[in-house]
A and B are shown apart, each in its own frame.
Chain A
Amino acid sequence: DGGITQSPKYLFRKEGQNVTLSCEQNLNHDAMYWYRQDPGQGLRLIYYSQIVNDFQKGDIAEGYSVSREKKESFPLTVTSAQKNPTAFYLCASSIGQGTPLGEQFFGPGTRLTVL
């Protein structure tokens, strides 16, 4: 079955630690996205990538980093510089390059908690 997988489902981070969230898709989509979701708020875009080896900052990129070495994979690293990382993180993909014009498909999410 085609889809997007995220791992782990739950992640706990100690103060000062960097952690990496995995996102893999087998939909053959060019574009991939990372969102953060906080209670009662809309999704906020962290980073997006329209093609392999290229990515752009979203609205709240500070304290996060990404890489796009393969079309299928778009891992997100939450660094110690992110002061309030506790949130639900969602990865998405869409077909086509250039702009987020296409229908977005989402993974199941990773809940990150800072201890």
Chain B
Amino acid sequence: KQEVTQIPAALSVPEGENLVLNCSFTDSAIYNLQWFRQDPGKGLTSLLLIQSSQREQTSGRLNASLDKSSGRSTLYIAASQPGDSATYLCAAVMDSNYQLIWGAGTKLIIKP
């Protein structure tokens, strides 16, 4: 069964720290992987989309990497701010069936 796992489920860090969120997938044959942000009671905002041929994507203070051989993607957030507090979800499209498989998310709290 194809699975996407995000550990930890929750993370709390002081403001200003650089941090890494993890996303692991069981099937290395992915087509692309997308990172989203969700604020409480809101919809999802797309942050970064990485194609399988890419190693990383950057947007402002965010950098997402993809390592298919190890079945892992990371979202790096530089100089964290309280406004970064949200739940971060990753989702992978699998090559075999083009299904989008979702992780359960990491709830991030940035303490002022």
Contact = CB atoms under 8 A, between A and B. Distances in A.
Interface in B3-47: 4, 9, 31-32, 34, 36, 41-46
Interface of A is mostly: loop
Give the size range of A's interface with the partner: 20 to 34
Given A42-B4, A42-B104, A104-B34, A111 B98 contact: no
A42 B98 contact: no
Interface of B: 4, 9, 31-32, 34, 36, 41-46, 49, 89, 91, 93, 98-105
Contacts of B100: 45, 100, 104
Interface of B is mostly: strand
A107 B4 contact: no
Nearest to A108: B43
A6 B44 CA distance: 13
Nearest to B107: A40
A115 interface: no
Contacts of B31: 101
A41 interface: yes
Nearest to A38: B104
Nearest to A35: B102
B102 A109 contact: no
A106 B34 contact: no
A4 B46 CA distance: 13
Contact of B89 (A42, A103, A111): A42
